[in-house]
Structure 1
Amino acid sequence: MSLKTKQPGEYIRTLARKRQRSAMMRYFLAAGVLIVTIWLFSIFATSSPGILLLLAGISGSYYLYHSGKHFQKRAGDAQRGAEAETKVADLLKILEGKRWQIEYNLKIQKWGDADVVLHSPKGNWYVVDVKSHGGTKISENGSLRRRYGKNIYDFKEGDLIHKVKGQAKQVKRLKGATWVTAMLCFTRGGVDISDNEINGTYVVSSGKLVDTLLRLDK
């Protein structure tokens, strides 16, 4: 029996729509401010206030446009995240056939939603945070980083290991579990980490998620 009460990616897909609406609103406002500024400047063009009005209007319009671009990018990020969660849900269907219970987008304190919470027939609990970042994920001095060619970068979102461990603690409390294994699953790029583990957290590519879960559950 499945515990699913929400669809995979439901929360982040809603977030993507909100961000897209915010972007469109800012684009419309930017266009409106620019049109009004040009109209007023045509009236007061020869005066000093007219010049100031033009500069202020152009600056305001540019700020709104730039803000819209920011929200549009964030909407795209959220949409990719939703697609990643859906992809992982498709991969996990095989476990549902093996009587695993799977719950998506579980609301928890502080850490937002837990993307995937799994309860195996053997009574073990897992929480999976799904990510769509590119690059090859590596471990460096006990920290998760990503590599593009010879260049190595931190994750802009901060310490992903710390985040998913926090989710695991909250899921443990909510479910009354003895222990919850924390996992990060990446749908893009590769993972080059010994034993796919950093400080007790497992880091896997989506193609190895099911095999890793089954291995850990033995």
Structure 2
Amino acid sequence: MGSKSQPRGQRAGQNIRKLALKRRAKAVSLFVMAGLAIATTVTFHRLYLQLLQLATGPTAQAQTAQSPPFPLYLYLLGGAIALVCVLSGLHLWQRAGHANQGAAAEEAIADLLSPLADEGWQIEYGLWLGKGLGDADVVCRSPRQQAFVIDVKSHRGKVVSNGQQLLRAYGTEKNPFEKDFLRQVMKQALQVKAQKEWAFVTPILAFSAAQVALTDRKLKGVYVVEAQGLVPLLRSLG
């Protein structure tokens, strides 16, 4: 995976937009398969009845009632296939929506970063990392050669911490996120450092739509900021 090439001039959110499109295409194909499963079952039933009529001849009406019924397991099989296809398609459609939400977040962050490009910053989007890390949302380098990797998250709500991990706060409830974002972006920073052969890469976790309420903006070596605080942070560190 690490040998996969990455085109230059990548736009913010481009990779994840492509992923969303692929997921929607797969979802549509699954919906079509569900329809075909139902249609095939109905067609087999009709063929079964026609074959019975041909086999019984003129006495078809009298013997149809006495003929063996259409196998129930074929209905169950067709229905099961259709149900699995529909549920899988709905799941993929939902994941495509999540991907588009993530792409919109990356595009919003890119708009915020655009003034830095005018100041001489080098900014790269969608850098492929491989090694199970996927791509880095944003990799940037200041005119003073300070390097950063930014992992963009589109989660909403309020982000807090217990001193060891990030938590998502809803009212009085505080729950961990679905993944360890701190560890994830730290791994990305180390991979970018190795891939670019830079001396050091600072990891940043940027929430595009959430409120970040941490006592310290740095947790386990990772800067955690909300969208409006990203550019000031980069300028202060770069």
| 1:181 alignment partner, one of 181, 184, 202 | 202
The one-letter amino acid of 1:36's match is T
After superposition, residues 178-217 of structure 1 pair within 5 angstroms as 178-217=199-238
Is structure 2 residue 135 aligned with structure 1 residue 131?
no
Q: CA RMSD in A?
A: 1.6
Partner of residue 121, structure 1: 143
> Separation in 2 of the partners of 1:141 and 1:200?
12
After superposition, residues 44-123 of structure 1 pair within 5 angstroms as 47=68, 50-110=71-131, 111-123=133-145
* TM-score (norm: length of structure 2): 0.85
Counting aligned pairs with the same residue, the percent is 37
SS in structure 2 opposite 1:195?
Answer: coil
Q: Where do 5+ consecutive residues of structure 2 fail to align?
A: 1-7, 50-66
Q: How many residues align?
A: 213
> Separation in 2 of the partners of 1:33 and 1:80?
32
Is structure 2 residue 34 aligned with structure 1 residue 13?
no
Q: 1:174: Cα distance to partner?
A: 1.7
Contact kept in structure 2, 1:128 and 1:185, CA below 8 Å = yes
> Separation in 2 of the partners of 1:215 and 1:93?
17
Partner of residue 164, structure 1: 185
> Separation in 1 of the partners of 2:114 and 2:210?
22
* TM-score (norm: length of structure 1): 0.92
Q: 1:195: Cα distance to partner?
A: 2.4
**What does the per-residue CA deviation read over 1:89-113, in whole Å, with 9 as the maximum and x for residues that have no partner?**
1100111111111011111122110
Q: Where do 5+ consecutive residues of structure 1 fail to align?
A: none
> Separation in 2 of the partners of 1:171 and 1:47?
68
| 1:23 alignment partner, one of 1, 21, 27 | 27
> Separation in 1 of the partners of 2:177 and 2:38?
37
SS in structure 2 opposite 1:70?
Answer: helix
